[in-house]
Amino acid sequence: MIETDRPVERAILVGINFPGQEERETEEYIDELSFLTETAGAEPVKRFVQKLNIPDPRTFVGSGKIAEIAHYVADNRIDIAIFDDELSPSQIRNIEKTLGCRILDRTNLILDIFARRARTSHARTQVELAQYQYLLPRLAGMWTHLERQRGGIGLRGPGETEIETDRRIIRDKISLLKTQLKKIDVQMSTQRKNRGKMVRVALVGYTNVGKSTLMNLLSKSDVFAENKLFATLDTTVRKVVIGNLPFLLSDTVGFIRKLPHDLVKSFKSTLDEVRESDLLVHVVDISHPGFEEQIKIVNETLRDLGSADKPSIIVFNKIDAFSYDAKAEDDLTPVRKENYSLADLKKTWMAKDKNHQVVFISAKTHENAEELRKLLYDEVKRIHILRYPYNDFLYNDDTPRP
């Protein structure tokens, strides 16, 4: 892979602190936006947060705030302003006019990262479809932008015509990509059917929680893992054997807060792996301060995929990186989230979630990996017996267990 030596673009981040949202929460959201920005290859230079009930319909943040941001942009050589929510076409137009730099919203940023990360033609086709779908309603705004760059020549009439031409080209492109994806879908579903009688287990979870690292640990394979968001876009499937029991394990794209809807739709065949699996292994990064909200978002996304009711195991990963503020004995202030120790969290989760098996591990140091293997063995065996009651050649009670 050749990286070109473009100077790193300087970005500012803009978010809203909505009613009912703690400041700490908003900070965490902007932290994530900042991580996304770095993953996309730009440098986050400054953050602007405003308390608002709803986003301003014209400029997302209020007019005073946008003027303050405009000053900062002018004084500090800012290339891009990145907004934490999806902007409407007219908001993009208005903000661009005021700030005079490139405007990106969260959706656009995520699409950009997916586009950079897509390696196979399948992933590229899926991302491209989502990108065109995002672009279609926003063409008018882009045209104004081009017009302005040309110093206003071209006037209104011809401009509108060109938008129509562009729209038609993009619509054609969208339907072409959809046809291509349908073909790929058919191929992939045939491939999946040919895998024979094996229980299928899917690793799911928020992005960057350690799914690929866990895949490598369990399958002794070498899947790409790194400390960036969306390191994995394509699904990898490996045969794993625990004790005498083989099953298929798949690693797939991670979820995130406000995952663009078009992206979820166009990643249908990638996510079919999740939809068609027999068991979900929901990986959670317990060292992340927002892990509880991440669990919620993953569960919502699973519900969207129609996979919320599948049997699942919750794996709390990264226990080696977990830290907490131990409270002194004589400290009488109320216990807060950050005062919970790992033992406290274990107790709480096991009590709270009686429907799921829970295990605490480190995919990095392999701590408790055996406990997870044992749990997987039991669950897969249970499902295997339910699904293939007459197929008992895989094990009998004399064979060794892990």
Ligand X SMILES: Nc1nc2c(ncn2[C@@H]2O[C@H](COP(=O)(O)OP(=O)(O)OP(=O)(O)O)[C@@H](O)[C@H]2O)c(=O)[nH]1
Which residues lie near ligand X (CB under 6 A)?
A: 205, 207-213, 225-227, 229-232, 254, 317-318, 320-321, 362-364
Binds 229: which of Mg ion, ligand X, none (CB < 5-8 Å by kind): ligand X
The CB-nearest residue to ligand X is 254
Closest separation in Å from C-beta 6 to ligand X: 23
Closest separation in Å from C-beta 315 to ligand X: 10
Binds 141: which of Mg ion, ligand X, none (CB < 5-8 Å by kind): none
Closest separation in Å from C-beta 363 to ligand X: 4
Site for Mg ion in 200-219 (CB under 5 A): 211-212
Closest separation in Å from C-beta 32 to Mg ion: 17
> Which residue lies nearer to ligand X by CB, 180 or 287?
287
Distance CA 349, CA 353 (A): 6
> Which residue lies nearer to ligand X by CB, 366 or 382?
366
Phi, psi of 103 (to 5 degrees): -115, 130
* Beta bridge mates, 246: 241
Binds 257: which of Mg ion, ligand X, none (CB < 5-8 Å by kind): none
> Which residue lies nearer to Mg ion by CB, 26 or 126?
126
Binds 210: which of Mg ion, ligand X, none (CB < 5-8 Å by kind): ligand X
Site for Mg ion in 217-246 (CB under 5 A): 231-232
The CB-nearest residue to Mg ion is 232
Q: Within 13 A of 104's CA, how many CA atoms are on the CB side?
A: 25
- Most distant CA atoms of the chain, gap in Å: 83
Closest separation in Å from C-beta 182 to ligand X: 26
